[in-house]
Structure 1
Amino acid sequence: MITLLFSGVAAVLLAAAGYWLRGRGGPRPTGTWAMAALLVSFAFAFLSYTPLVESAAESVVPHVGRLLSNSFTLAAATSVLAFMLQLNLEPEDARRSIRLRVLFLGVSVAGMTALFAAEQLNDRSPQLYALYVLIYITYLGATAKDFCLQTWRQSHRSRRRSQRIGLRVTAAGCVSALLYTAYKVFALVSVGLGLGLVPQGARCSTPVTPGRCVFSVTAPALAVLLITLGLTLPAVVWPVSQFLRRRWEARSYAALGPLWEHTTGATPEVVLAPAEFDGQDHAADSDFFLHRRVIEINDAVLALRPHRSPDVLGRAGAAVAERGLAGTTEGEAIVEAAVLRAAVAAKKDGSEPRREVAPPTPGGPARAGNLHAETEWLLLVSRAYAHSGLVGTVTATADPAGTGARA
């Protein structure tokens, strides 16, 4: 169970490191190398916990698995802090702080190695082991605390939702790491005072048994997973979200085609230089073409305003109410589609502008400047315009010229 868990975690971490280091066709993002070092360090730390690797290493140097896993854990803690420093500080300040942290890391690992060797030469002296744990836990606890504070503060300043969520997940991982450090302090006190509260050399059969394994095994594993997930989430979500956005834009552009063709066919003057963009790739520039189509439809709706029939508006509203759709967005879209279809017909028939015109659709100011909201609204109108039987029924009996037309 333990071997499967830690080997799986290590494989996921190495895969995540490969994702960060892969070529992107341009400069790598800030903190790429620090993130890769973090993931690789965590991966090797977990591999050192697996019984197979631990047994192989300890067949050469007894009990060296502890030193290896602790050293890799401190390297990972330094890497994750370096990542945040690169994001939060100016480049020169970040380099200076990172160099200082790396120096502390080297001193700490050297001190732990010396104490480990002395401990083995002195029949595993509890006092030397306590000093070893003191160095380890002091460095790890200080780093986890600093990283937790920086991460939580940054989560309140991030604009992207995926970053905010990722940073808060990372902060939760830091809390789990602090639980682990608290357990190590407890173990240190037990060893230093000879209380025997934490058995030495006992192994965990599962991540939760015996009870102390919740803190010694599960807590650090959970910390690594949450920190890795939190820091990797924005990098994974971003390309996925961009793909979904471009797909939605391309589909919306195509779905608005019927409404665009009818409204601009009646008001061709609103079309923005069509020949200039004929050779451009719609898929690659989906945002531009969708924005342009929405603008042209809205301009056409504005140009058709003198032909908006109050009679069609009233009859469409009554028909929508009969179907229980009054006051709903769907009902309003059906009414707007009916009014537009009648206006297009009147414009193409050469009817005179009306003395009284139907008012604009409710909610227009709320959608102004919001491409997504405006597109979603026009998609509803386009669907009703092309497929609603109610729209066809209402406009079939409409008077294109309008009884209120100017003489």
Structure 2
Amino acid sequence: MIDLLFSGVAVVLLLAAGYWVRGRGGHRPTGTWAVAALLVSFALAFGSYVSYVESAVESVVPHVGRLLSNSFTLAAATAVLAFMLQLNLEPDEARRSIRLRVLFLGISVAGMTVLFAAGQLNDQSPQLYALYVLIYITYLGVTAKDFCKQTWRQSHHSRRRSQRVGLRVTAVGCLFALLYAAYKVFGLVSIGLELNLLPHGVRCSTPVSPVRCVFSVTAPALAVLLITLGLTLPAVVWPFSQFLRRRWEARSFAALAPLWKDIADAAPEVVLASAEFHEEQHGDDSDFFLHRRVIEINDGGLALHPHRSPRVRENAERAVAARGLTGTPDGDAIVEAAILRAAVNAKKAGSAPQAEAAPPAPGTASRAGDLRAETEWLLLVAHAYAQGEDAHPVTDEPAPSPSGTDPQA
């Protein structure tokens, strides 16, 4: 089961690395190669834990699997820190800091290699192994702490929701890495003082058995998975979110067409330019076409403002109150649709402007400049407009009955 876990994690990490390094329209985001190095390093670290891989390399050099996995883990820690440095610092400053970290990595791995070789020659000396662990856990712990602090701080400044969530998931992964580091420190104290609190040579049968495997196996596995998920999430979510955005924009553009057409017919001067919208040809410009349509509808509303009838508004408000929709977005949209319909008809008929125009719909000022908020509001109005959801006439004058008598008689 443990081999399956480690093999699966390694495969997932390599696939994630491949996703990061592949070209996406000729553009690779900042830190692409650092993240790829992180994922590949973690994949190699977990791959070295697989029993048949470990047996193969240790048949050449006994116990070298630990050195390989620890070295790959430190390389991953350096890569993940390099990623954050590229995001948070100017390019020149980031390169200097990364070069310094890579130098420290080389010194640390060289020191671990020397201590590992000396331990092999001195019958696995506990003291030499303690120094080896000291170098390893110091580098790993300091890097995990710095990365956790930076990701959590950066998560408060990211504008995209997927980035905020991803960075916070990454910070949680760093906490599991620090838990693993604390376990290693505990083991270091045990070795240095020859307390034998952590028996050597005991393999984990499951991620939680024996109990120490929670700290030595499960904690680092969760750390790697969460860090990988957190760093990859924005890259995976972004194209999907863009697809959903473009689809919403195209559908909203089409849904606003009936309202826009009537307003444009009554006030043709508000139409900016003649252009046809075809989603297949202009899928990438859906935001432009939707933005233009929203502007034209709003400009048409301003052009129709002198014809906004207070009496139609009062009638529509009574109808809305009878349906229990007063003060709701749907109720406000029904009232606005009734006013616009009456204004369109009055403008087309050449009626005189109202002595006192009906006021704008609630929330008009707060929605100004917010394309999504304005679009969602106009979609409600367009739906009410198309459905004729006001229960009263749309003009100020009552329509005569066919016989010329009062329709209320």
Q: Could you tell me the TM-score, scaled by structure 1's length?
A: 0.93
Give CA-to-partner distance per residue, 1:280-333, whole Å, 9 cap, x none.
Answer: 944221111111101110111111122222222111111111111111110111
Cα offset, 1:20, TM superposition = 0.7
Whether 2:181 is the aligned partner of 1:181: answer yes
Aligned residues: 398
Q: Which residue of 1 aligns with 2:60?
A: 60
Q: Which residue of 2 aligns with 1:144?
A: 144
Give CA-to-partner distance per residue, 1:149-176, whole Å, 9 cap, x none.
Answer: 2222222332333222222221211111
Cα offset, 1:225, TM superposition = 1.2
Q: Which residue of 1 aligns with 2:373?
A: 373
Alpha carbons 1:267, 1:300 under 8 Å: kept:
yes
Q: Which residue of 2 aligns with 1:302?
A: 302
- Structure 1 range deviating more: 61-70 or 156-165: 156-165
Alpha carbons 1:119, 1:128 under 8 Å: kept:
yes
Q: Which residue of 2 aligns with 1:395?
A: 393
Q: Which residue of 1 aligns with 2:168?
A: 168
Cα offset, 1:107, TM superposition = 1.6
Cα offset, 1:220, TM superposition = 0.7
Distance 1:287 1:215 in 2: 50
- Structure 1 range deviating more: 355-364 or 134-143: 355-364
Q: Structure 2 vs 1, CA of residues 153 and 396 (structure 1 numbering), >3 Å: closer, same or farther?
A: closer
Alpha carbons 1:152, 1:167 under 8 Å: kept:
yes
Give CA-to-partner distance per residue, 1:352-395, whole Å, 9 cap, x none.
Answer: 2222332221111111111111110000000111124x33x423
Alpha carbons 1:307, 1:346 under 8 Å: kept:
yes
Alpha carbons 1:309, 1:339 under 8 Å: kept:
yes
**Once superposed, which parts of structure 1, at least 4 consecutive aligned residues long, lie more than 6 Å away?**
277-280
Q: Structure 2 vs 1, CA of residues 315 and 20 (structure 1 numbering), >3 Å: closer, same or farther?
A: same
Distance 2:341 2:90 in 1: 58
RMSD, aligned α-carbons: 1.9
Q: Which residue of 2 aligns with 1:84?
A: 84
Alpha carbons 1:346, 1:400 under 8 Å: kept:
no
SS in structure 1 at match of 2:356: coil
Distance 1:239 1:17 in 2: 17
Q: How does 1:344-363 map to 2 (within 5 A)?
A: 344-363=344-363
Q: Could you tell me the TM-score, scaled by structure 2's length?
A: 0.93
SS in structure 1 at match of 2:392: helix
Q: Structure 2 vs 1, CA of residues 335 and 278 (structure 1 numbering), >3 Å: closer, same or farther?
A: closer
Distance 1:325 1:215 in 2: 57
Distance 1:169 1:375 in 2: 33
Cα offset, 1:132, TM superposition = 1.2
Overall identity of the aligned pairs, in %: 77
Cα offset, 1:342, TM superposition = 1.5
Letter in structure 2 aligned against 1:7: S
Letter in structure 1 aligned against 2:289: F
Q: How does 1:36-47 map to 2 (within 5 A)?
A: 36-47=36-47
Alpha carbons 2:208, 2:214 under 8 Å: kept:
yes
Whether 2:93 is the aligned partner of 1:93: answer yes
Give CA-to-partner distance per residue, 1:21-69, whole Å, 9 cap, x none.
Answer: 0112334222111110000000111111122222222222222211111
Cα offset, 1:278, TM superposition = 7.2
SS in structure 2 at match of 1:154: helix
Give CA-to-partner distance per residue, 1:116-151, whole Å, 9 cap, x none.
Answer: 222222222212211111111111112112222222
Alpha carbons 1:148, 1:174 under 8 Å: kept:
yes
SS in structure 2 at match of 1:285: helix
Alpha carbons 1:341, 1:395 under 8 Å: kept:
no
Q: Which residues of structure 1 form unaligned runs of 5+?
A: 402-407
Q: Which residues of structure 2 form unaligned runs of 5+?
A: 400-409
Distance 2:23 2:356 in 1: 62
Q: Which residue of 2 aligns with 1:206?
A: 206
Q: Which residue of 2 aligns with 1:266?
A: 266
Distance 2:232 2:277 in 1: 40
Letter in structure 2 aligned against 1:323: R
Q: Which residue of 2 aligns with 1:250?
A: 250
Q: Which residue of 1 aligns with 2:284?
A: 284
Distance 2:182 2:56 in 1: 30
Q: Which residue of 1 aligns with 2:219?
A: 219
Distance 1:2 1:30 in 2: 35
Letter in structure 2 aligned against 1:65: G
Letter in structure 1 aligned against 2:392: V
Q: Which residue of 2 aligns with 1:236?
A: 236
Distance 2:6 2:397 in 1: 76
Distance 1:21 1:268 in 2: 51
Cα offset, 1:245, TM superposition = 1.4
Q: Which residue of 2 aligns with 1:74?
A: 74
Letter in structure 1 aligned against 2:250: A
Distance 1:239 1:343 in 2: 42
Distance 2:210 2:277 in 1: 70
Alpha carbons 1:349, 1:400 under 8 Å: kept:
no
- Structure 1 range deviating more: 121-130 or 28-37: 121-130
Letter in structure 2 aligned against 1:36: A
Alpha carbons 1:155, 1:167 under 8 Å: kept:
yes
- Structure 1 range deviating more: 173-182 or 51-60: 51-60
Q: Structure 2 vs 1, CA of residues 307 and 397 (structure 1 numbering), >3 Å: closer, same or farther?
A: closer
Q: Which residue of 1 aligns with 2:153?
A: 153
Cα offset, 1:263, TM superposition = 0.9
Alpha carbons 2:57, 2:65 under 8 Å: kept:
yes
